[in-house]
């Protein structure tokens, strides 16, 4: 059974890509960055130049991810991209960040949740955004250009304006990067 399933996986392009990515997921240093960049560039729906993927990144439904130029995805990030993920240019994804685009249906209390299927909603992260370590981006979230999400924040399915700063669980807009003069500490 195992060999039959492995053979089915190897026969498809997506299966071969998934196997290759899993082999090099934790390779350290420059060789690891270069191999992962090449593998993910082929697997993503679209990818700009300057892609850096750190060790331990996991992406389900990798073929539904689009990334712009100069995107950095930090260690141990985990994307569930069944509903599609789009990252703009100059996006920084901190270590341990999770981006989810699907969730379980829970409409029928008489049917086990795992039998009800899923709801899919895309996530869009605008240009020049920074997602701090261990934040969680929920299905349907849209972050405008230049947003900053604080470490550990849980960002709900809303449209957030350009340059907003989000923190907390649930995440709330705590300010705007435009409101601070350059070089001044916002705290």
Catalytic residue status for 163: no
DSSP states of 96-160 as a string?
A: T-EEE-EEE----TTS-GGGS-EEE--EEE-TT-EE-TT-EE-TT-EE-TT-EE-TT-EE-SSEE
User: Active site residue: 63, 104, 159, 182, which one?
Assistant: 104
DSSP state of 180: S
The first and second tokens of residue 10, run together, are 């190897």
CA–CA distance, 183 with 187 (Å, rounded to integer): 12
How crowded is residue 77: how many other Cβ atoms within 10 Å of its Cβ? 23
Active site residues: 104
């Amino acid at each position: 059974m195992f060999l039959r399933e492995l053979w089915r996986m190897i026969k498809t392009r997506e299966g071969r890509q998934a196997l290759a990515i899993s082999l090099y997921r934790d390779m350290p240093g420059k060789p690891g960055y270069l191999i992962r960049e090449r593998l993910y560039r082929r697997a993503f729906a679209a990818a700009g130049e300057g892609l850096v993927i750190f060790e331990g990144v996991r992406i389900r439904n990798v073929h539904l991810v689009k990334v712009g130029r100069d995107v950095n995805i930090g260690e141990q990030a985990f994307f569930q991209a069944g509903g599609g993920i789009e990252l703009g240019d100059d996006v920084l994804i901190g270590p341990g960040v999770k981006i989810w685009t699907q969730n379980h249906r829970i409409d029928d209390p008489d049917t086990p949740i795992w039998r009800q299927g899923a709801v899919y909603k895309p996530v869009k992260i605008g240009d020049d955004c920074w997602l701090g370590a261990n934040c969680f981006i929920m299905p349907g979230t849209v972050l405008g250009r230049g947003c900053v999400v604080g470490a550990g924040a849980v960002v709900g399915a809303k449209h957030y304006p350009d340059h907003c700063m989000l923190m907390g669980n649930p995440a709330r807009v705590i300010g705007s990067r435009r409101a601070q003069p350059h070089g001044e500490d916002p705290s």
